[in-house]
Amino acid sequence: MTVSPPGAQGSLVLDAEALYRELLRGVRSLREPHTQLAGIASGGAWLAERLQKDLGLDGAAGVLSSAMHRDDFAQRGLAASAQTQLPFDVNGADILVLDDVLYTGRTLRAVLNELYDYGRPARVRLAVLVDRGGRELPVQADFAAARVALPASQSLALARTEGGNFHFQVKEA
């Protein structure tokens, strides 16, 4: 299926709240008693924060920034997104990384490098709201709430209202 900007003929509107409920179901099935949640800044961090609450977990979810390990750092510079915050010991941890959209895999590669700067986890898995294909690296999600096809000229990002509700923004690149 193809996602088009809102208002375009034949466009598909992704219901981010419905996909979040599916992600919650998937995370429940993946999670074990000692699994730690860590979201990729910013959409993944929003998901991890809300999942932490909806799963009734104590403490805060971790936040992972890809800024320092990006292979396009020279072009992008240091993003204004959140910095890495891991309120748990990474060494020996079972970590479930969360992201809004999985595309090329380059952000995930950068985040894994960042994570290993903090220690050596026992296991790292990935759950995403949307897998849009188009991989440049051999990575895949352990759980994806939806799989969609988008032209390379479009980007898909999670956004959130002041009230905390999720929706998607589709932009032409």
> pLDDT tens digits for 49-58?
999 999 999 9
For residue 109, the model assigns a pLDDT of 96
Crossing angle of helices 16-30 and 43-54, rounded to 10°:
60
Q: Is the bond into 42 cis (omega within 30 degrees of 0)?
A: yes
CA 148 – CA 161 distance, rounded (Å): 23
CA 60 – CA 37 distance, rounded (Å): 9
For residue 13, the model assigns a pLDDT of 73
Nearest to 45 by CA among 24, 62, 68: 62
Going through 58-122 in order, the beta strands assigned E by DSSP cover 62-64, 94-102
For residue 11, the model assigns a pLDDT of 54
Q: Please name the residue that has the structure tokens 């759980």.
A: 143
For residue 97, the model assigns a pLDDT of 98
Nearest to 126 by CA among 118, 137, 73: 137
Give phi and psi for 97, each to the nearest 5. Answer: -85, 135
Cα–Cα separations (whole angstroms), residue 81 to 15, 23, 63, 68, 173: 25, 23, 10, 11, 20
Positions in the chain short of pLDDT 70: 1-12, 72-81
For residue 20, the model assigns a pLDDT of 98
For residue 9, the model assigns a pLDDT of 46
CA 83 – CA 23 distance, rounded (Å): 24
Residue range 16-73+81-147, CATH number:
3.40.50.2020
- The alpha carbon of 116 is separated from its chain's Cα centroid by a whole number of angstroms, namely 18
For residue 68, the model assigns a pLDDT of 83
For residue 81, the model assigns a pLDDT of 59
Structure tokens at 134: 């188009």
* pLDDT one-digit tens code per residue, 40-75: 998 999 999 999 999 999 999 999 999 888 776 545
